[in-house]
Amino acid sequence: MIYFLKAILRAGFRHRTISLAISYMVLLLVSSILITLVEPQGTELTHFGDALWWSIVTSTTVGYGDLYPVSTGGRIVATILPIFMGIGLGAAFITHIASYLIERRDKKMHGEKFYKGSNHILLVGYTEETQCLVEQIQKDENYARRNLVLLSNIPRHPLPELTNLIFVQGQPDTIGALTKANIAQADQIIIHTGSDEKSLFALINALRLKNDTCEVTVRCLSSQALYTFSSIPGKFETIMQMTAEMMVQAMQDKVHIPLQILLRNEDDNEEIYYVTIPEILPNPTWWNLHNYLKEKYEYLSFALKKPDGKVMVNPPGKEPVSKGCGIWLIALNRPMNLTWPD
């Protein structure tokens, strides 16, 4: 019997939980059959159902005392099988489960596991601003329950207290690490490594590995690198971070101060959103659509993107707006389920 149990455990080493469960079932079956054979006829433990119940409560150390062996042979069976081996298997099972949970948490904290989910937002790189970025994303009700996958070459999960944030450890500008973060199933990718060089390589690899509908946003730190980013073929958005040169310029001529207030209006909680225009017949002009959105939704539109990619800030009032155009507007909440003019 012991050799049989050992053989099961060895064969099921990779599936130890199943092996322990099968071993325990075999133990209960064998002890129940043996106790019915050695107990005197007419006693309660000669019935298999009662014997099975006795094996369960004895092996789990519950021991209600409602059933017990009366013969010497029955006591030997009770000592060897349910008591000795039952407790041993129970301890092995509990230890295995505890080890598994600890190992799983350790791998999660160190980002060793491959992410197998889908429709996630992939954050490529970790900087001092990552926590703020995650919190801002999760404030949007459309992304509050969306999984965020953080890919970075740091030793441990930097923000384990944040919900729905999964850490994947790896060099963020490499194909292997991006694959480990399941980039092919991501809905959106945000690249902010803190280094233009790393962000550039991450962008190139991300454009190769992502799916066709995935949107990519990359953060550029220096104005010198902006031209390099713009020369990369593919569909993505580049965000320019204010550099020391731009801060000096802002101090000198105040050009950038209103723009920064517009992008992040803390008092009114207003944000800038981008909306793609569906087919509207007849095609409206920019001014007609601008007035419609302001009167109906209190949205303030200020820029137009034509289907060929040309961006027009404060376009002429008579500029036609057709299907495939995009508009930037300021609103308190993300525009959802808009109705368009007839």
Which of 12-26, 227-241, 287-301 has the highest mean predicted lDDT (pLDDT)? 287-301
Q: Are residues 128 and 105 in the same domain?
A: no
For residue 336, being part of any structural domain is answered with no
This prediction's pTM: 0.54
For residue 254, being part of any structural domain is answered with no
From 82, 109, 136, the end of a domain falls on 109
Interval 315-339 mean pLDDT: 90
Q: 132-141, 189-198, 241-250: lowest mean pLDDT where?
A: 241-250
Interval 287-300 mean pLDDT: 93
| pLDDT score at 108 | 80
Interval 280-304 mean pLDDT: 92
Higher-confidence residue of 59 and 314: namely: 314
Q: At what angle do helices 48-59 and 16-38 cross, to 10 degrees?
A: 130
Q: Are residues 129 and 216 in the same domain?
A: yes
Instruction: Name the band, by pLDDT with cuts 50, 70 and 90, for residue 292.
Output: very high
Q: Are residues 152 and 236 in the same domain?
A: yes
Q: Are residues 294 and 219 in the same domain?
A: no
Instruction: Name the band, by pLDDT with cuts 50, 70 and 90, for residue 245.
Output: very low
Instruction: Read off the CATH number of the domain in which 215 is found.
Output: 3.40.50.720
| pLDDT score at 268 | 54
Kindly state the tokens that stand for 138. 């999760």
Higher-confidence residue of 225 and 156: namely: 156
8 A C-beta contact, residue 27 and residue 85: yes
Q: Are residues 23 and 70 in the same domain?
A: yes
Q: What is the DSSP string of 176-216?
A: HHHHHTTGGG-SEEEE--S-HHHHHHHHHHHHHHS-TT-EE
Kindly state the tokens that stand for 59. 């092996």
Q: 92-106, 139-153, 157-171, 283-297: lowest mean pLDDT where?
A: 92-106
Q: Are residues 125 and 210 in the same domain?
A: yes
Q: Are residues 75 and 186 in the same domain?
A: no
Give residue-wise pLDDT tens across range 206-222. 999 999 999 998 888 88
Interval 312-325 mean pLDDT: 92
Q: Are residues 103 and 128 in the same domain?
A: no
Please report, rounded to a whole number, the percentage of residues in the chain having pLDDT higher than 70.
Answer: 84
For residue 259, being part of any structural domain is answered with no
| pLDDT score at 241 | 59
For residue 255, being part of any structural domain is answered with no
Q: Are residues 215 and 131 in the same domain?
A: yes
Q: Are residues 102 and 159 in the same domain?
A: no
- Measured CA to CA, the distance from residue 215 to residue 62 in angstroms comes to 58
Domain containing 285 equals 271-331
From 60, 88, 109, the end of a domain falls on 109
Q: Are residues 126 and 100 in the same domain?
A: no
For residue 28, being part of any structural domain is answered with yes
Question: If DSSP codes are grouped into helix, strand and coil, which group holds residue 105?
Answer: helix
From 80, 109, 138, the end of a domain falls on 109
Query: How far are the Cα atoms of 63, 147, 168 from residue 115, in angstroms, in the given order?
Result: 45, 11, 7
Bridge partners, residue 217, by sequence: 190, 237
Higher-confidence residue of 133 and 186: namely: 186
For residue 58, being part of any structural domain is answered with yes
